[in-house]
Amino acid sequence: MNNLSSDNIEAIIQKVLSKDGRTVKEIAISNNISESTIYKWLKRYRDGGTINKFVRKHKSHNLTPSEQFQHLVATSSLDEAAVGVYCRKHGLFSFQLKQWEETFVSQKLDEQKQEISAELKILREENKQLKREVRRKDTALSEVVALLVLKKKADLIWGESEDV
């Protein structure tokens, strides 16, 4: 039997305790663990003991993200039974694949949020700059209009200038 981390053991225990219609035997088979081991973990969990006694380092906990991604790609088109066979062959557990997939998806969403946030910041700054420029041009235009109006009024009052 491959050894699991305490998080993985607790996840299996939570599956058993959730009573979602799956039996302990089904959960044991899907995770490649014997029923007696799960019952032992449950007893220890209910007694308030720690699960760390069962936990030892395993090579699947030290996989790089690229190795995790390769396993995800390899199992993406397989059915549940074939995934179980693949996991046993490579010393993995099916719930690890699900965790890795969730991690990759959440990382992708975080990257997209950061890209959108950066683009939004650039657009806001550009908008601010354009508004400043429009305000400046409006001010200049209103000054020119005011000068023209004053010139026409002055011409009406004093007549046309003879310099022109």
Residue 1: pLDDT band (50, 70, 90) is very low
For residues 82 and 6, which has the higher predicted lDDT (pLDDT)? Answer: 82
Residue 162 DSSP one-character state:
S
9 close to 51: Cβ distance less than 8 angstroms: yes
Average pLDDT of the chain, as a whole number: 82
Structural domains of the chain ordered from first start: 1-57 (1.10.10)
Cα–Cα distances (Å) from 56 to 32, 36, 89, 128, 143, in that order, read: 17, 19, 19, 57, 80
Residue 46: pLDDT band (50, 70, 90) is confident
Q: What percent of the chain has pLDDT over 70?
A: 88
User: pTM for the whole thing?
Assistant: 0.36
Contacts 24+ apart (CB under 8 A), 90-93: 90/60, 91/2, 91/58, 91/59, 91/60, 92/60, 93/2, 93/4, 93/8, 93/31, 93/32, 93/60
For residues 144 and 82, which has the higher predicted lDDT (pLDDT)? Answer: 144
The encoded tokens of residue 158 equal 């004093």
What is the C-alpha to C-alpha distance for residues 14 and 2, in angstroms, rounded to an integer? 19
Mean pLDDT over residues 150-163, rounded? Answer: 83
Q: Scanning the structure block, which residue is given the tokens 């699960």?
A: 51
Q: Scanning the structure block, which residue is given the tokens 């650039």?
A: 122
Runs of H (alpha helix) within the chain: 6-18, 24-30, 35-46, 65-75, 80-90, 94-158
Handedness of CA 112, 115, 119, 122 (dihedral sign): positive
